[in-house]
């Protein structure tokens, strides 16, 4: 009886160990596959670099539009990207830059405050899919089920596709009360060179609420300093940065 009990216990431990080992091996396999796919994508990475400067206007208080945000988008030929966005009124000169590297690292830096926010690394398998989609996007730039193709055009010498979605219903191609229209460049990773947001009035007509306008577009490598991770900067959370910006507003009387 005791021998049977020990045998059953030993058998149970063996089964548990086998299950654990299977899980470990499966995890290692998935990690290795994801890492392999990432390395393959990185090895094949060679894309058209660009620097895109835009201005975003709001028409809520003025039909002529009020400049609210300035942005600079950049992509290196290795696929790494950076977005520099004004924080507070553009005339303050305070910007945050979000850098994304092809190895899954990403961070947001505010040079004015000398802070940086390091974001969690993307898991290897998901990173491989993300990089593949970034380097080889669909030619129509449709990247979600709630988007639909509305035409084609040319912006700053770049062929673009016009992609539209409803921001309220999410049911293409029917448009509800708010529509987003983007002019995406397939040759530049489907970046939106310009976009508009329009709201529907009660009489069925549309009125412009937001518009992104291109200031300049050059097919060149971005400034390398934009990708510096600044080891001496203080690590800060998003709330820390928001509080500093709020204090800056108070200091400036805004």
Domain boundaries, the chain: 1-44, 50-125+138-252
Quote the radius of gyration of the chain (alpha carbons, Å).
24
Task: Read off the pTM.
Answer: 0.78
pLDDT band at residue 65 under the 50/70/90 scheme = very high
Q: Which CATH architecture has domain 50-125+138-252?
A: Clam (2.50)
The yes-or-no verdict on residue 190 having pLDDT over 60 is yes
Lowest-confidence pick of 27-36, 42-51, 162-171:
27-36
Alpha carbon 57 to its chain's center: 21
């Amino acid at each position: 009886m005791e021998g049977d009990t020990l045998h059953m216990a030993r058998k149970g431990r063996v089964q548990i160990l086998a299950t654990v080992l299977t899980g470990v091996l499966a995890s290692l396999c998935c990690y290795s596959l994801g890492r392999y796919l990432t390395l393959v994508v990185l090895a094949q990475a060679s894309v058209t670099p660009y620097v895109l400067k835009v201005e975003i206007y709001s028409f809520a208080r003025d039909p002529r539009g009020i400049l609210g945000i300035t942005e600079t988008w950049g992509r290196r030929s290795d696929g790494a990207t950076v977005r520099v966005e004004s924080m507070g009124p553009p005339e303050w000169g305070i910007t945050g830059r979000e850098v994304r590297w092809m190895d899954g690292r990403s961070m947001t830096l505010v040079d004015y405050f000398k802070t940086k926010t390091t974001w969690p690394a993307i898991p290897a398998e998901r990173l491989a899919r993300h990089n593949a989609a970034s380097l080889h996007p669909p030619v129509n730039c449709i990247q979600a089920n709630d988007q639909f193709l509305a035409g084609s055009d040319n912006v700053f010498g770049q062929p673009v596709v016009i992609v539209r979605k409803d921001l309220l219903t999410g049911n293409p191609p029917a448009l509800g009360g708010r529509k987003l229209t983007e002019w995406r460049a397939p040759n530049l990773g489907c970046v939106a060179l310009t976009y508009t947001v329009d709201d529907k009035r009660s009489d069925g007509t549309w009125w412009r609420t937001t518009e992104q306008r291109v200031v300049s577009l050059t097919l060149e490598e971005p400034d390398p300093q934009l990708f510096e991770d600044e080891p001496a900067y203080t690590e800060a959370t998003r709330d820390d940065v928001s509080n500093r910006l709020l204090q800056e507003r108070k200091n400036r009387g805004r």
